[in-house]
Amino acid sequence: MKQTLALVVALLLLVFAADADAQQASRSTFLKLMDVQKMWEAEDYTTAMAELEELINKTRGDAYDYALANQYMAHTCVLADCPERSRTALEEALAQPNLPDELLATLTLFYAQVVLVDEEYEIARQNFERWLTLIDTPPDPAQLFSAAYANYQTERYDRANVLIQQAIESESNPIDSWYRLHYQILFQLERYEEGENILLGLVSRSPDEETYWRLLANHHLRLEDGRKALAVMTIAFQMDMLAEPEDQRRIVSLYSFVETPERAARLLESMVDTAVVESDFDTLKQLGNLWLLSRERSKAVEVLKKAAVVDDEGETDELLGSIYFEDERWSDAHQHFMAAIDKGAAEENDRLHLLAGISAYRAGMKGEARTSLQEAMKIDEYRSQARSVLRKLDEA
């Protein structure tokens, strides 16, 4: 069913309010509504809706009873998972004139929750604010949270901050999602230290909750402080909190981010050796690149050769060809440039034909050189270079 926890809580609260409101209705309406509640208990929503449709038609001339009938219809439709009808019923009820503030507040709050579920945050926000002006008792903290969320989603961060603080302060045991919303609000307000303190509080209260360590690390990343993010992730990892391969990959990336690629490479290598992560193309490519950044070319080449075997697009062969070209290992360079071309990499980088031709020429592979250079001649950008090498080949 399309319900959030907030909406379910609201529904339970509003049923009790509806009982009090129903007692002020006409006797026939009151009795019918009591029958509907029994149908809720029996989960006979189809009959309840039919009875309420009849009651709605009968009470059109009585604004109060008509509003109540639509309110009960809205409750029933939430339970029966027909949110569209629930919303129209509430809109009908709210359109009635001269409703008492208590009933109007109940309907407004219910409507705010329904449109919040539909992610129509501005309409939800307006109705939450209206509800707050109608009540004369302290607002329920859970509803304050919902109001804060609506304001957050409409980028009214100052107002959202006021509401979430009220919710937290008035609740004896706030749930962690409230603190997480408060953190997001504070971050948007650029009150970073306060936001960090909230995350530290979450970690302190629930040190076994991996999500909070990730949130704290991500907080530092959002502020482009990779070293603090790495420190948080490393502490959590050492506490055996981050056992998922994705988390360990993230630590590897952070080591690279803070310019310690060798440590990143060694960590990823150990993860591959112990089968913590699969030795797939992405992993091998990352490890090869980390060894390159660490200036460990021989280690990089060995890993990239394994990656090339499972690379269907030729990207790794192209990289290997470039490495061998720089190292003047011409035959190996030609082999990998040709492998990249055969896998279709030349469609993205047409310079490969020229590089393959030069590599073959340098390796003394005249026939292979001529074939590749003639392909390069077809490309305007490389025609003059290819012609020059061909001329040397002819003179040799």
Taking alpha carbons only, the member of 13, 85, 23, 6 closest to residue 49 is 85
**How many CB atoms are located within 10 Å of the residue 19 CB?**
13
The reported pLDDT for the residue numbered 2 is 40
- How much is the pLDDT for 4? 47
Mean pLDDT of the chain: 87
Q: What is the mean pLDDT of residues 92-101?
A: 94
pLDDT in the model for residue 282 = 84
Name which of 262, 343, 265, 261 is nearest 309 in CA terms.
343
39 vs 283, more confident: 39
**Residue 115 burial (CB < 10 Å; 0-12/13-18/19+)?**
buried
Pull the structure tokens for residue 298. Answer: 């021989």
Q: What is the mean pLDDT of residues 246-273?
A: 75
Task: Please state, as a whole number, how many other Cβ atoms lie within 10 Å of the Cβ of residue 166.
Answer: 17
What confidence score (pLDDT) does residue 139 get? 94
Instruction: Using only the alpha carbons of the chain, give its radius of gyration.
Output: 34
Single-letter residue type at 308: A
Q: Does 85 score more than 60 pLDDT?
A: yes
Distance CA 325, CA 356 (A): 9
Answer with the residue of higher pLDDT: 230 or 127.
127
Tens-place pLDDT, residues 198-248: 999 999 888 888 889 889 988 988 898 877 877 777 777 766 666 677 776
Helices 27-41, 5-22: axis angle to 10 degrees equals 150
**pLDDT tens-place string over residues 147-160:** 999 999 999 999 99
Residues ≥6 apart with Cβ < 8 Å to 387:
377
Ordered by where they begin, the domains of the chain are: 1-137 (1.25.40.10)
What is the average pLDDT across 136-153? 96
